[in-house]
Amino acid sequence: MTGTKIFSLAGEGAWTPTPDGNRRRVLLHTDELMMVEFGFDKGGVGALHSHSHVQASYVAEGRFEVTIDGRTEILETGSSFIVPSNLVHGVRALEAGRLVDSFTPHRADFLD
C-alpha cells in the first residue's frame, strides 16, 4: 500500500467549484474507492444525473431533499443513503450543508 494516502485531516484539500454551482473536495481515493465532501449553500441543487458508480452518502450537516429513482425523502444531519449503479438521483439543499459521498470504483472525472 506504499504511496497510497490513507488518512485525510480536517480541512485538508482545496474546494473545487462544481458545474452546478456547489463545491467539492476529494478527501481520499484508491482505484476501488473514493471519498468526496460536497458543500451546498441553501437552495443549492445537485442536478438529477446517473453514473455507473455505486454511491453511499452521509449528511454531515444540513437538510437535503434527496431524490433517487423517482422517490424523494427529506434527510437531515446524521442520515445517509445509497444510490445503486445507474439510478437517476439528485439533491436540493433545504439549508446550507455538506454531504460526504463514497464512490466505488473511484470517480476519475473528479481527479482532473
Exposure of 46 by Cβ count < 10 A (0-12 exposed, 13-18 middle, 19+ buried)?
buried
In this prediction the pTM is 0.93
Asked whether the predicted pLDDT for residue 18 surpasses 70, the reply is: yes
Asked if the bond preceding 105 is cis, omega within 30° of 0, the reply is: yes
pLDDT score of 61: 98
Residue 14 to residue 6: CA distance in whole angstroms: 17
Asked whether the predicted pLDDT for residue 1 surpasses 90, the reply is: no
Amino acid at 41: D
Asked whether the predicted pLDDT for residue 44 surpasses 90, the reply is: yes
The overall average pLDDT reported for the chain is: 95
Task: Name which of 63-67, 95-99, 106-110 the model is least confident about.
Answer: 106-110
